[in-house]
Every structure is written in structure tokens, then in C-alpha cells.
Chain A
Amino acid sequence: MTDAVRTHALLKRYGPQVAVAGVDLVVPAGSFAGLVGPNGAGKTTTLSMVTGLLRPDGGRAEVGGLDVWRDQLQVKARIGVLPEGLRLFERLSGRELLLYCGRLRGIPRADVERRAAELLRVMDLEDAAGKLVVDYSTGMRKKIGLAAALLHNPAVLFLDEPFEGVDPVSASTLTEVLRRYTASGSTVIFSSHVMDLVERLCDWVSVMSGGRIVAQGPIGEVRGGHSLNEAFLRLVGGPRTGGDAGLSWLGAQPASPPASGEEG
């Protein structure tokens, strides 16, 4: 079986700074994969290049054995994307956004309408379906974005920080939908900072640091008997200084109330 995603020495530079320095990402088909790493590790840049939203400076990216840049038509039909930042078509209502995305991909209107109605129900967005996306909250935007990404039934789903800023209720809706989706043999790749969540959901994990993959494999192997959080801190080089140096004033009770400014 071919891998769902495979990259070869993927490279991206921004001026003198190398954001992604030769990444060989591998995700087996059918897995629920987590891409973890500290801020600035190159997770978003990697996902953008794999999904064809950012042109790499070097290397190759394949989805289901097809080159992302050479076979755009087939690849785009097979992937769904929820990038970070959540910029959606703000002046469409949630329902209109789904209809637009589906029909732009050439799915007949009647089919799109049926799928959109089901997705809106599952995502608990039926009440908000008629409101403009510009007025949605973060959780609602993530949910409508995920619905738009699922609408054409992709084989591989890329999610960049899907749980960031999402309330617990919406988060459990999101995980529920994703679990059902992977149970049918489809692949999910998502980036996250939240190790507990990755540990709970994923069966495959790739750890990035400084623009490279530093560990990748089934989650049990990467963890190696520790919690994922411990393994992660060890891999990316943990906290550099002890937490107790400096900051001795923090939490100390002030001796007298602070000066209250000028008395007029």
C-alpha cells in the first residue's frame, strides 16, 4: 500500500532564513497522524507546501503516490485542507460557503445541498447556517472550515491547528467527526501543540524541530515508554533554564500599596 503522504527533502527559504530544511514526512494511508513541534518549527510551512498552497524551493511532495505540483487536478480532488488563520469567504453565510465550495469542484447542486445539510447538522451549525461567516466565532469557523474541507469526500485531510481557540464542546464535535472519518480508512494529518490531544487521537506522529523531522513513526515507538510530552521535550531540547532563576519578585506580597499617581 502506498503512503498517504510522502515528501522528499522538502525545502523552503525566506531570504536568509531556512523555514523548512529538507523534510522527509511520511504518513501511512489510513492513519490519524499528528505533526507536532514548537513554534517556528516549520509545521505550517510544510503543510502549505504539501497541499500546494506554497511553492517549495526544493524537494518533492506526493499525496497517494501523485506529485502535488505535476498532478494538481487529481491531488486536489483527493485532499481536503483547513489552513491556519481561518480565512474563509467572509461575506457568504455558512450554508452558502459550503454550496460554493462543493459546486466549484463540479459536484451537482442537489448533491452538495444534501451533503451540506448533513454536515451542518453534525457540526451543530444549523442555527448559524444563515449567518455570515464574518460574524462566526472561532469554534464555528473551525467547524465550517472542516465541513468545507470534508464536502468533496477527500481521501486525505490536512488540518493546521484545528483545535486552537476552540471551546470544549466544539472540540469534541470536531474529534468525533474526525474519528468517524478515519474509521472508514481515510487519512487525517493535523498539526498541534497539545500533546495530550495528539496522544489521545493519533496512531502516528511526526515531530518537527528547526525545520526538520526529528522523529516519526507509530506513536508507541516515538514515545518509547514515556508520555508523549516527555518524549517531545527530550527530542526538541526541552526548557533550557530552570524555571526558578530570576522572577523572585513574582508572587511576593507588596509591602505598601503602589503609588496612585497624581492627586489633582
Chain B
Amino acid sequence: MIGTAALFAQLKLRLIAGALRGDLQRKLGFVLTLVMAAGVAVLGFGLMTLVRLAPRDVATDVVIVAYTAILVGWMVVPLLAFGLDDTLDPARLALFPLRTRDLATGLLAASATGAWPVATLAVVAGALAGLADGPGGALVGLVAVLLQFALCLVLSRLVTTSLSGALRTRRGRDLLAVAALFVVLLAQLPNLLLNAGLGDPGAMLRGAAGVLRWTPPGLLAHAMADGGLTGLAEVAVVALLVVLAAWLWIKALNRALVTPDASTQAASVREGGGLADRFLPDGPLAAVVAKELKYLRREPRFRVLWFSAIAVSGVIAFSLSSNTPGGAGPWLPVAVTSMAAVMIALQSGNLFGIDGPSLWMNVMAIGSEEGFRTDLAGRHLAGAIVATPLLLVVSVAASLFTGHPGAIPLAFLAAWGALGVGLGVGAVTSVVIPYTVPERMNAFTGAAPGQGGQAFASAMGAFAGIFALSLPLAIPIALGLGWLCAVAPVYGLLVETLGRRLGATIGFARMPELVAAVSKPT
């Protein structure tokens, strides 16, 4: 047993150390992770110790909430980052002659090894210093700390193992890619609530702790504060729960090891020409628009991008309108809607990134600069077809919300201009600084390993370009010449056309390099 555990812990250390042999970026990432984990450990431990200064009941509440948050983090984060840790997928180990019990011990040992587990242990142990009283409290508290750590490990494994079958199928991964976004948004929720000034933090803490009091982490935190017989009973209950979870996990592991991969059995999709073929003349343009619209619907990375564009503009709109002193002027809906348009257009700053390695098919079919221009036009048109109704909704909502219904047409027209400018700039950045969008996006990177710099440069370039090219209209509009909004769509179209032509000239000349840049392994 000990041998297996040590072996797996070594395997995990080797895997971590393997990052050190990679290129500079991976080394930097490794160092950054270490620094962050150390920071979290020290800061967390310190904060948890400081709880002692708070009144007793508040301290208990804080620890209850913190323990629950840590446990939830352990359950959710590995799921979103599935694939980061090679020891997480039991299928990799299925062929080794290991009994399930040995395997389970080993996997737990691997889970407990690493920078983040150590950081977790430090934070969890901080509560001991912050909450426990007397020798009884210290003893019960020590057990509680170890149980909380074990609970994190076992439940995290239970979740990834029972979902590992689903995670290996295409559909499961597609769903998860979008789900990851919801978690990121959810993390923004407390921030937004506090910003909006709903309720006081003290009451919210009491409410949350009251709900979480009887969850396993809540029991542990309470036991630590209690330190008497009640505490002992609570610790015993959680210990039972840990054993039960471990047993469930071994069952799930057994099943996962013998369940075949069924990911290639898929149903047909709904086909049909749709919008593009009804309104566009037959030809390459209609083909590109039809393909792009299908991709927008079916490709999870597109779903994530569009969803985040809308969510980010929502957040911006919310904070802009609630933080404006003395009520919002009619410029606000115009600004908000234009901002949303820029957010949508920014997705087009790397038009070929999602096509990725399949872009060669386009390259083989496109033999002239005009063909490349058509490809760009089709992509822009498809984006505009989806963006138009969205921007209409945003302009109406923003105008009504700020009490300026008269601003609806202005906001919508200005947004069209912003969209055009964004697409035009994006056409150029797409061919000058292309980069691969990884198959599985997470909240931390939007580019293939080694291309983070390109992604950053592309975004910055797009921002700078959009900003500079928007000024000729944005400044007079901001100064009160609202009617200029009517000119905005024309201006946007002009910039889009110029950008598209420039992009096609540059892009056609460097098509092989373009394919290479978006075909990096991820």
C-alpha cells in the first residue's frame, strides 16, 4: 500500500517537473503556479488565523463558508481543467496490473501531491489556529482539518471519475466547455451583488453560514469551534461520510475501468441551406456564409466566445449605469451598445483560429486574392447576421433601462458603425497575427501553448486599431453631435471594406504561414 502511494506521488512529481523541461513559457507558467500557490497558502493561513480576532460566532460562520468554498473548488476546478493532470484519468492506468484498492490509494496519493494540495492544507490548517480552543478543541480540530483535506481529495476524485466516461465523449466535452463559462460568470456574481449594494455583508455571511451549517464542511468547522462531545460526534459523522465517499469512488473507478469508450456513436445533424442560400446568389460567398453560420451553431468554442461577449457587455453596461453619478445621459445607451458591438467584433480578430488545422481545405480552394476576399466577406456577413438582432436587443434594453427610449435608433446605428470598424480591424489582425484557438478553451488561455504572446498582441492590436479608427466619429458624438450616429454605419462599412481588402492582400500572400500558425498542436 505504502509502496503504491509513494510510487504515484513520485509519478505526479515527475509530471510536474516535466513542465520544467518545456519551453520558456511553460517554465514561467510553472514558476507562476508555485508563486501563486505559495501566496495562497501564506495569505490563506494568515487570514484564517486572523479569524480569532473576530467575535466567536462570526469566526465560526467565516470558517464554515470558507471550508465549503474550498470543497466546492476542489470538486469543480479539476473538472474544468480535465486533461491538465494526467493522473486524473483512470483509463490511462487501466492496463497496469493493479488491484482497484492499490489504484485508489495511488490516485489519492497523486491527488495529495503538488503545490495546490499543499496550499489547501495550509489554508485549512489556518482555521485550527483561528478557531480551536484548549487541548480538546485542538485535538478535535486537528482531526477536522485532516478530514476536510481527505474530503476534498475523495470528493474531487469521485466527481472526475464518475464523469470521466462523459468527459471522454465529444458531446460531454462540448457541454463542459460551455459550462466552464457559467462557473466563471458565477464567480463574478458576489462582486456584482456587492457593487450593486444589495444587503450588508454581515447578514449575507450569517445567511450563508446558516444554510451551510449542516453540510460536511460546516459540521467540521463547527466541531472545531465546539471542541467538546458535540464536536466529536460531528467529526465522527464526517469521517463516516469520507469512508462512504471513498467506497463510492472505488465502485465508480471499477466501473470506469471496464466501460468502453462510446464516443463515436453519434446521431445525424439537422442539415439544410437555411438563411444564406435563400437570400444570397449561389456561389462561394453563400457557401462561406452557410458554413460559418453552421459553425456558430455547432462549435462550442464559438458558443463560448459569443456568450462571453454578451456577458462582458452585460457586466460593463451594469457597472456603467449603476456607477454614473447624477443619472445617465442619452450618450450612455449609445456607448453601451457600441461597446457590445466592439466585444462581438473582437471575436473576429482571429478569424481563422477556430478553423485551425482544417484551414488547408480553404487554402486549396482559394487561388486568388479575390477568393480570399470572398472568404473574409462571408465570415463578416455571417457574424453580422447574428450580431444585428443581438445589437437591436441591446440597444433597446440599454435605452429603456437608462430612461432614454429616444436613443434607440442612435444606439443601434452607432453599434453598426462600431461593428464595421471592429470587423475591418479584425480582418487585418487575423492575417497579420494569427494564432491557434485550442480545442478546449478554459478561462485562463485563449491560445495554443507558446502562442500566448500572439494572442495578447492580436487583442491589443485590435483594441488599438478599433480605438483609433473610432475616434473620428466617437469624439464629435460624445461632444453632442448625436445625429452623426446616422453616418456611423456608412463609416463602419467603409472601414470594413478597406480592412477586408488589406487583409485579403496580406493574407493571400502568406496563406501557408497562416495555416501553420493556426495549426499548432494544443
A interface with B by C-beta (< 8 Å): 51-55, 72-77, 79, 81, 83, 85, 87-93, 95-96, 99-101, 103-106, 108-109, 130-132, 134-137, 148, 261-262, 264
Query: Given known contacts A87-B519, A88-B358, A95-B271, is B282 in contact with A81 (CB within 8 Å)?
Result: no
The yes or no answer to B251 lying at the interface (CB within 8 A) is no
Known: A73-B367, A104-B366. A87 touches B512 (CB 8 A): no
Given A91-B295, A100-B290, the answer on whether A76 and B364 have CB atoms closer than 8 Å is yes
Number of interface residues of B (CB under 8 A): 50
> Complex: how many Å from CA A75 to CA B368?
11
Q: Among residues 92 to 138 in chain B, which have CB atoms less than 8 Å away from a CB atom of chain A?
A: 98-99, 101-102
B82 at the interface (CB under 8 A from A): no
Contact check, A76 vs B367: say whether CB atoms are below 8 A apart.
yes
Q: Which residues of A contact B360 (CB under 8 A)?
A: 53, 81, 83, 87
Q: Which residues of A contact B284 (CB under 8 A)?
A: 103-106
Name the residue of chain A whose CB is nearest to the CB of B368.
Answer: A73
Closest-CB distance, B343 to chain A (whole angstroms)? 23
A-side contacts of B98, CB under 8 Å: 261
Distance in angstroms between the alpha carbons of A99 and B361 in the assembled complex: 13
Given A52-B511, A76-B365, 4 new contacts (CB under 8 A): A87-B358, A132-B269, A262-B102, A264-B1
Which residues in window 336-374 of B have CB below 8 A to A? Answer: 355-358, 360-368
Task: Output the least CB separation between B279 and chain A (Å).
Answer: 14
Q: Are A87 and B367 touching (Cβ within 8 A)?
A: no
* Contact status of A130 and B268, CB under 8 A, knowing A91-B294, A100-B291: yes
Q: Is the CB of A264 within 8 A of B101?
A: yes
Q: Which residue of A lies closest to B511 (CB)?
A: A52
Query: Which residues of chain A have C-beta atoms less than 8 A from B288's C-beta?
Result: 104
Whether a CB of chain A sits under 8 angstroms from the CB of B267 is yes
Give chain B's interface residues, CB within 8 Å of chain A: 1-4, 98-99, 101-102, 170, 263-269, 271, 277, 282-284, 286-288, 290-291, 294-295, 298-299, 355-358, 360-368, 375, 511-513, 515-516, 519
Interface contact B287-A103, CB-CB below 8 Å: yes
From B170, B263, B271, give the contact of A96 (CB < 8 A): B271
Q: Are B287 and A100 in contact (CB under 8 A)?
A: yes
- What residues on B are CB-neighbors of A79 within 8 Å? 364
A53 pairs with B515, CB closer than 8 A: yes
> How far is A99 from B282 in the complex, measured between Cα atoms in Å?
12
Q: Nearest chain B CB to A23's CB is how many angstroms away?
A: 17
A72 and B268 form a contact (CB under 8 A): no
Name the B residues within 8 Å of A88 (CB-CB).
Answer: 358, 361
Smallest distance from the beta carbon of A163 to chain B beta carbons, Å?
20
Identify the interface centre among A99, A104, A131, A264: most chain B CB within 10 Å of its CB.
A104
| Inter-chain contacts of B358 with A (CB < 8 A) | 87-90
Q: Within 8 Å CB of A131, what residues of B?
A: 266-269
Tell me, rounded to whole Å, the shortest Cβ–Cβ distance linking A143 to chain B: 15
Question: Per a CB cutoff under 8 Å, which of A103, A134, A135, A136 touches B283?
Answer: A103
Q: Shortest CB–CB separation between residue A194 and chain B, in angstroms?
A: 24
Cβ contact within 8 Å between B367 and A148:
no
Contact between B355 and A93, CB atoms less than 8 A apart: no
Q: B169 — nearest CB in chain A belongs to which residue? A: A135
Provide the bound-state CA to CA distance between A91 and B271, in Å: 12
Query: Whole-angstrom distance between the alpha carbons of A158 and B375 in the complex?
Result: 24
Tell me whether B367 and A74 are in contact (CB under 8 A). yes
Given contacts A104-B365, A131-B269, contact A87 B4 (CB under 8 A): no
Within the complex, the shortest CB–CB distance from B379 to chain A, in Å, comes to 12
User: Quick one: which of B263, B271, B294, B364 has the most chain A CB within 10 A?
Assistant: B364
